[in-house]
Amino acid sequence: MSKHHSWLDAVKGLCILTVVAGHSGSPFFHHYFFWFHMPLFFMISGYLFHPRSRIQEVREWISKKWMRLLIPYFSFGLLIAALIFLQTFNVREVLLNIYHLCIGGRTLGYYYGVFWFVTCLFLTHLVFAYASLLIKRKRSMVLFLALCYFIAHIYVSFPFLQQKNIIWSANSVLLSICYYAIGYYSRQAFSFVERKSTVIVSSLIILLIVVLEKLSVLSYTLDIKANVYTWLLDLIVPLCAASILVYISKKMSLTKWSKPFEYVGRSSFTIMFLHVPVTISIEKYTGISTVFLYIVMGTLIPLMFHLLFKQFLLTNALFLGAFPIRKKDSGQTLPASKETAM
């Protein structure tokens, strides 16, 4: 694997660990990690995006993303529904969870709390792919993204709109597409992101915001699922945090310490889907609930499931979205693609 992919997997690994920690019940982790972990995942997806020149190519690419994102979405969702049924034997509750799985957005809670991200990511892929195809001038694209950012923050200023559930978290795309675009366009200015001076400035900015919060000068919260936004800070804070984590990952990828984070990064979607139900079940049957246990078990047990799913063609397809590729000319079936779900 190239160094490029090594650091990218490492940053995904760091990022998914902050997702698990953010759900661990620690107010500190929840508050500060929510500032950047979901925006960074959207940025990573944007960084991996390659524009298509024809509408047919876009349709084919979106079809692949559907298989890589939404088939695992429903597969994990039904697996968890089966787990719930084995615990409660309540058919009505299971059917209600499946209905919520189809609707998505903020109807998804508890076991399914993080599932909103997958449908939102799929819609973000779709909108950005078509926008990059139809909007040729970079200036026009910037205006389009600025308009999305502006509408997102105007939208949440009306409580009756902010509190309304929209199917598949489509309303969150107004902001997520901006992070996605930042990831895509950052490839052209990556040398700037890698500079030590950029990381120092980014760290000082985040430290300043933390201090201002402690002094009650300002209060900052970012929750893309709940549509809790704060105008300018929604750009500044995630960008600063992203530059720090990317810098750490780039440096770490040159050492052996990067390998565990890379593996966690390659398993990030399985961890995202399973860490909540796994830790809920552990707490329910053992009565043990600590932040440390949540983070460790919420990472290690999904990692074991990921290893298991990779062993079989069917589970590899259903849960990891890795489908065998058939060559058009010869009809020969190749091994499942290793392309990231991002």
Question: What would the pLDDT profile of 34-72 be if each residue is shown by its tens digit?
Answer: 999 999 999 999 999 999 989 999 999 999 999 999 999
Report the chain's mean pLDDT, rounded to a whole number: 90
84-137 per-position pLDDT tens digit: 998 889 999 999 999 999 999 999 988 999 999 999 999 999 999 999 999 999
Answer whether residue 4 shows pLDDT above 50: yes
CA distance linking residue 202 with residue 236, whole number of Å: 9
pLDDT tens per residue across span 155-180: 988 888 778 889 999 999 999 999 99
* Mean of pLDDT values over 202-217: 96
pTM for the full model?
A: 0.92
Higher per-residue confidence, 196 vs 209: 209
Query: Rounded to whole angstroms, how far apart are CA atoms 162 and 173?
Result: 13
Instruction: pLDDT band for 2, please (50, 70, 90 cuts).
Output: very low
pLDDT on residue 285: 84
The yes-or-no verdict on residue 3 having pLDDT over 50 is no
Would you state the pLDDT for residue 48? 93
8 Å CB contact between 284 and 28: no
Mean pLDDT, rounded, for 262-274: 96
